[in-house]
Amino acid sequence: MASPNFEITQKEQVTIIKCLKEFGQSAADEIENLSAEWLKKPSKIYVFDFQEAGSVSNVTFKPMATLNRSLKKVESFLFSINVSKDIERQIKMAGLDDVFNVKTDLSAAMAGAGVKVAKPTLDANFINPFIQSTQKTIQTQANTQVNAGRLRLKQPGEVFETDIAGVISLTSNVFTGAIALCFPQETFLAMYSNMLGERHTVITPEIEDAAGELLNIIFGQAKAELNQNKGYVIERAIPTVVRGKNINIHHMSRSLSVVLPFETSAGKFHIEISADFV
Amino acid sequence: MAMTELKFLVVDDMMTMRKIVSQQLRAMGVVTIEEANDGTVAWNKMEEAAKLNKPFQFIVSDWNMPEMKGIDLLKKARAHPTYKTVAFLLVTAESEMDQVKEAVASGVDNYLVKPFTPQSFQEKLMAAYQRRFPGK
């Protein structure tokens, strides 16, 4: 059943409890109920995210203290992140620093529990799942053979022939960034024809979401590999599609962007990945 | 009732994927197919169909959609008197183990990970059908 107070996500060893509104009586009651459930099969870390909490009522202090005490007994941890100055002051005044255990972000919380977090770079360990999932997706879903080209850095100001692109924002415990799947019109139309048996001469709104869907599948496959086998905690995301003549994907990233070129029987396309690491 | 005679609802926010799924259902001989571009739209259609005593008998839904997600549509269906036993196939790009576990715990009949071939789609669909209509 959906929680009225929290959005709860569980990944591997971490349960994130995002507070959706005031951390008050209703939240206090729910924590008591959730605590019993959690303690049946506890995660290693429980992180309360106060980004949207607005305020915290004193009635939540007792169930939080009880939860923290119970978690300690089973060698689990409770942390709080995105805590405003006002809430942090309130916690300190109540002498509950050790209960709420405020950290700057999820990464710091995980480090506080002694959990090793993969420190990503745009290296083969991070990039290869995207190459493999691109080949698998295009071959299986679009019935088109794919050869991966040589990975390289995107040069400042470099523009590729791109008429349509699917774009997904990457959000994880240790980095933010973006991935873009970029097609020239001819490649996109030929691939669409392979996928659905429909021939089009121009990209129309009726068919453009295929760029987003293909990227969605590529991202889903790569995310599963990175999260399950390489120690990342990349969050789910929904793609958007951009269209125009010779689109330039400009990454608002302080770090470098990489380009993965692909050749297919339908023509060339490429993927761009950028990431800022915490 | 043969699977081809069932009333299907295909739910996906991406028109391309709705087309692919509907196309493959038609290729298998399914005649009655409706589409919805989100879980909320799907649920409204399902409630309306139930009121008219012509409920959907097979739901093929994406997981990751902007408004109501496929997993939430599944949970709503399982709590509804008309749809608690409806055949339900989740088709999704999400293949992480905790998601599969959540789908199974919520009563999904089968789970198909994208990308998929027509053959794997048919196999998963048939397995879901046979789970709900044993002996058919």
Task: Tell me the pLDDT of chain A averaged across its residues.
Answer: 87
Spatial contact of A259 and A150, defined as CB atoms under 8 Å apart: no
Count other Cβ atoms within 10 Å, centred on residue A15. 20
Spatial contact of A263 and A239, defined as CB atoms under 8 Å apart: no
Nearest to residue A108, comparing CAs of A83, A74, A72? A83
Spatial contact of A130 and A218, defined as CB atoms under 8 Å apart: yes
State the count of interchain CB pairs (< 8 A) between A and B: 66
Spatial contact of B125 and B60, defined as CB atoms under 8 Å apart: yes
- Nearest Cα of chain B lies from the Cα of A137 at a distance, in angstroms, of 5
Q: In what order do the strands lie in the sheet with A77-81?
A: A6-11, A14-19, A45-49, A77-81
In angstroms, rounded to a whole number, what is the distance separating the alpha carbons of residues A63 and A29?
8
A195, closest residue in chain B (CA to CA):
B20
- Put simply, whether A212 touches B (Cβ < 8 Å) is yes
Flag if A137 and B114 touch (Cβ within 8 Å). yes
Share of chain A above pLDDT 70, in %: 92
- Long-range Cβ pairs for the range B104-107 (8 Å, 24+): B106/B71, B106/B74, B106/B75, B106/B78, B107/B74, B107/B78
For B9, the token pair is 């609802």
Looking at residue A3, what is its pLDDT? Answer: 77
Flag if B16 and A213 touch (Cβ within 8 Å). yes
- Nearest Cα of chain B lies from the Cα of A220 at a distance, in angstroms, of 5
Query: Which residue in B14, B17, B95 is closest to A220 by CB distance?
Result: B95
Query: Which residue in B15, B97, B114 is closest to A228 by CB distance?
Result: B97
- Put simply, whether A11 touches B (Cβ < 8 Å) is yes
Q: All domains of chain A, ordered by start, with CATH?
A: 6-112 (3.30.750.24), 124-277 (3.40.1550.10)
Is the Cα torsion angle A230, A236, A241, A247 positive or negative in sign?
Answer: negative
- Nearest Cα of chain A lies from the Cα of B41 at a distance, in angstroms, of 18
Indicate the domain borders of chain B.
3-132
| CATH 1.10.3720.10 describes domain B3-132 | no
Chain B partners within 8 Å of A192 (Cβ): 16
B12, closest residue in chain A (CA to CA):
A213
Query: Which residue in A12, A196, A236 is closest to B23 by CB distance?
Result: A196
pLDDT over 80 at A11, yes or no: no
- Nearest Cα of chain B lies from the Cα of A254 at a distance, in angstroms, of 29
Flag if B17 and A223 touch (Cβ within 8 Å). no
- Put simply, whether A93 touches B (Cβ < 8 Å) is no
- Nearest Cα of chain B lies from the Cα of A27 at a distance, in angstroms, of 22
- Nearest Cα of chain B lies from the Cα of A146 at a distance, in angstroms, of 15
In angstroms, rounded to a whole number, what is the distance separating the alpha carbons of residues A58 and A72?
22
Looking at residue A55, what is its pLDDT? Answer: 82
Looking at residue A121, what is its pLDDT? Answer: 64
pLDDT digits (tens, 9 = 90+) for A35-91: 998 998 888 899 999 988 878 899 999 999 999 999 999 999 999 998 988 898 889
pLDDT digits (tens, 9 = 90+) for B104-120: 999 999 999 999 999 99
Question: A residues 145-164 near B, CB within 8 Å?
Answer: none
A135, closest residue in chain B (CA to CA):
B115
Chain A partners within 8 Å of B65 (Cβ): 238
Spatial contact of A46 and A74, defined as CB atoms under 8 Å apart: no
> Which of A192-201, A219-228, B92-101 is predicted with the least confidence, judged by mean pLDDT?
B92-101
Residue B94: band (very low, low, confident or very high) from pLDDT cuts 50, 70, 90: confident
Looking at residue A119, what is its pLDDT? Answer: 55
pLDDT over 90 at A164, yes or no: yes
pLDDT digits (tens, 9 = 90+) for B13-49: 999 999 999 999 999 999 999 999 999 999 999 999 9
